[in-house]
Amino acid sequence: MFENEKTWAKAVLNNSTDEFHSKFDRAIDLVKKDFGKSYPIIIGGKEIHSDNQFQVRSPADTRIVIANFPLATKEDTIHAIESAKDAFPRWSQASYQKRIEIFRECADAFSSDKFQLAAMMTYENGKNRLEAMGDIDEAIDFLRFYADQLELNQGFSKETKSASTNEKTRSVLKPYGLWGIISPFNFPSAIAIGMTAGALITGNTAVLKPSSDTPLSAFMFVETIYHKLTPAALNFVTGAGSVVGKTILESPLVDGIAFTGSKEVGMSGFRSFVEKKPRPFISEMGGKNPAVITASADLEKAAEGILRASFGYGGQKCSACSRVYVQKNIANQFMEKLVSKVKSLKIGHPWEKDVFLGPVINEDAVKKFQRASDIAKKDGKVVFGGSVLKESDYQHGYFVEPTIVADLPQEHELIREELFLPFVCVSQFDSFDEAIKMANKTNYGLTAGIFSKDQKEIEAFFEKIEAGVTYVNRPTSATTGAMVGAQPFVGWKESGISGKGAGGAYYLLQFMREQTQTRCE
């Protein structure tokens, strides 16, 4: 029976948080010993090193070289694609029971090493301890949940009714072939593993291209599992999106794409991929996620939920809350509570025990933050934050202040466009219907939340809100933190293409196509 990993929650429940931090401290000492190593790409079941490399540096301290990875060429990528294509007939014939066994073994291995994996992630992409462990936990959950789903559905093969007395018929879901997996920096383990596992466990082969900001977390997964698979069933290629990603998307040999990233890149890739023939393209493409706070809300819970949803991992989540709509008669009171809480957040090196907010991912993110802050100061009111942090411990990293903005017009670009930053815009409303209209006035439809004690408002929120993942009165986070197996993560509108959620019962179906088999006696 599937059970979520929930490492930190279990530590809190068992009153063993000190032990959690002791293990994390030991893990940090261990991973430091591997800083600066060179890693290979993996093609055709072989590890390939290269002198033509790029450095992965910690966004919290760019003096720290985490790893060196090959800058794969177009030829390398084509080799990976051809290898995966050739491996498909063998891997697809492996029994679903064997595939389940492999992925459960991988989940157990990740569970055993989770403190080291999370410790490395704090350096690689700047997540704090709890966020990094949550990322690893989610990766483990994906591996186990998808294995359970395959087992529960008996490999997705079942008898159907007979069309006539002398016929027996089955419906069988079969893999498409080769999938290209393009994963982002913000969940370098969970999303990379979730998408890749979805392809592989259903009998497809894969070429995985991770974000160049965070290839090491994805490599740790590939290194753990690839030798258990048919040789070349999983290939791992690092390098520029303009080379590796472009080659994957343009290859006629690739049968499907699983992508997580920005809407611009996702839609461009989608158009390119399906231009010449219909092929499945599974995507999650961001959000501009709202939270509504009505007059009946518990403002303490609301402020806590908004803080965690807006500023957890620096707002660098597709599900981050970036728009808040608060009823006018409680707006000042809510804002006071929110600002007070944000002032108490500790910003610093994410591997340190008490740090809540680490760096943003890179220099481009800092420039984007500075631009957004300048625009907010000109066109609205910066209630808190708005500055790039450069002094003392911040001088070697990409640190910015959590920022709260008010008084922007609803058509303003900062309210319409995804920023992927610790940046939230607060607006006021008179009536509940007005709030829902403003919340829905976006091209995105990923997550949304509400804080209210009025059951009619809550039911109306569920009925009218245009988002795939919705939450009510959730202080742990107003819009983020979907749990595998409990809260399928699915985007509506321009937040996604397939309408099926990762970590849900319908996710694996997307990697397969149906075949009806009829036998006459």
Q: Catalytic residue positions?
A: 284, 318
Please give the backbone phi and psi of residue 204, each rounded to the nearest 5 degrees, phi first. -85, 165
On the CB side of 298, CA atoms within 13 Å amount to 10
CA angle 320-27-399, nearest 5°? Answer: 40
E-strand stretches of 265-402: 281-284, 289-293, 321-327, 381-384, 388-389, 399-400
- d(Cα 509, Cα 502) in Å, to the nearest integer? 11
Cα dihedral value 290, 296, 299, 300, nearest 10 = -120
Cα dihedral value 100, 105, 108, 109, nearest 10 = -140
Contact indicator for 343, 392 with CB cutoff of 8 Å:
no
- Write down the H helix ranges in 113-214: 114-125, 129-152, 190-201
- d(Cα 236, Cα 227) in Å, to the nearest integer? 13
Q: What H or E segment, with its residue span, contains residue 486?
A: none
Secondary structure tally for the chain: helices H, strands E: 16, 24
